[in-house]
Amino acid sequence: MPFIHSVRVAEPGTHNEHIEAVAVSDLTTGPLRVSSREAVHTDIVRGTRYRALHPVTHVQTDVVARVSSRGTRYIATVANGTETDNLLRLPRF
């Protein structure tokens, strides 16, 4: 299962729709590769399970594919009432 470790966002970077790419590894540790938001969205729709991994707390959260009201395909963590495990709380690259 792929783990998202960090994100690249377009300015202002305040919404999940601003995520352009993510740094992903196949294990909780290991080499990172960069994947576009679109590629991850497509993978999730096709059935690949992704998890966000916070580098300090090591909390893992499921990532889901969403579509905005404007039709923008984006990714987000599953709503669980905990903002600290949100994709936008991950380090930037």
- Percent of the chain residues topping a pLDDT of 70: 96
Instruction: Please give the residue that has the higher pLDDT: either 84 or 72.
Output: 72
Return the pLDDT at 52.
96
Determine the length of the chain.
93
Across 39-60, b (16+ Cβ under 10 Å) vs e yields ebbebbeeeeebbbbbeeeeeb
End-to-end CA distance of the chain: 21
- Evaluate if residue 83 carries a pLDDT over 80: no
> 7 vs 26, 49, 57, 69, CA distance in Å?
16, 17, 17, 22
- Evaluate if residue 81 carries a pLDDT over 80: no
Strand partners, 67: 73
Return the pLDDT at 14.
86
